[in-house]
Structure 1
């Protein structure tokens, strides 16, 4: 699984709503732009963004909120702090570009992680989803690199 796909799954775990289908505009450059917006909105640092991009656990509440912001901007997390399975699966189909194995693994990960109980705090919920996704990526024998 490519690093970009893993980031995308973590950001499903992901385009500011400028069109009716924000996922159509998703690419690495756009994700970096949204990360900058979220950094400003949450008070996160450049280091927090770096940790997120390297799939390292969030060390501060601001870092967790950075992840929650990203998930919300990409409509992977809804206003209630829950994973939007529909949008996550839409993102996976876009990113997998027809790779059936990749799509199946990512769909399984979304199914499992969408079902977990998460804290009410949206920032903590984002960190819980991220941990679940990373754990299941490894379970599938996939790499974050």
Structure 2
């Protein structure tokens, strides 16, 4: 029962991390001594949908799905939903076009302890790559896609969401 609660907590934190950090599809990540847990797109969408209530434009289900699946060629509305969530959790503060490095590192550290240096390097790299982007939605999405690629290439265990 204790491991089940820990896995449920891990799933909730993982989904929150996906939603707010938008760095990667971190759903289903588990520590080395746990079996891998994964969720379906529908399950993740249900958890994330309430975050769209205060967003403008209000995302439709298809936009949330695109964000959850980290579609590189996502619709602009999907990218804006990503930005809205980042703003809600102050990971991309209002008026800013880059991720807040310290807060994003803190979120990454919740799921990947002992990888702070890698997380910080990745955030700096991706913020720098997108520094010329002036559209807040494009910046939020571009940085997230960059972080996903960089995390995977750095050996972060990032499972895919089951469709």
State whether TM-score is above 0.5: yes
Of 52, 60, 72, the match for 1:36:
52
Asked whether the 8 Å contact 2:21–2:86 carries over to 1, the reply is yes
1:1-145 to structure 2, matched below 5 A, reads 5=14, 8=17, 11-13=20-22, 32=48, 34-37=50-53, 40-78=55-93, 79-93=95-109, 95-96=110-111, 99-101=113-115, 103-116=116-129, 117-145=131-159
Asked whether the 8 Å contact 1:81–1:125 carries over to 2, the reply is yes
More helix by share: 1
Asked whether the 8 Å contact 1:58–1:127 carries over to 2, the reply is no
CA distance in 2, matches of 1:63, 1:106: 24
Q: Deviations over 1:61-95 (max 9, x none)?
A: 111101111111111112222211122122233x2
In our comparison, the structure showing a higher alpha carbon Rg is 2
Asked whether the 8 Å contact 2:133–2:139 carries over to 1, the reply is yes
Q: How many residues in Structure 1 have an aligned counterpart in Structure 2?
A: 127
Q: Which runs of 5+ in 1 are unaligned?
A: 15-27
Note closer, same or farther for the CA distance 1:45–1:123 as it changes in structure 2 (3 Å cut).
same
Asked whether the 8 Å contact 1:9–1:92 carries over to 2, the reply is no
Partner SS state of residue 137, structure 2: helix
Once structures 1 and 2 are overlaid, which stretch shifts more, 51-60 or 71-80?
Answer: 51-60
Instruction: State the superposition RMSD in angstroms.
Output: 3.3
Q: Which runs of 5+ in 2 are unaligned?
A: 1-9, 24-43
Match of 2:27 in 1: none
Q: Give TM-score scaled by structure 2 length.
A: 0.62
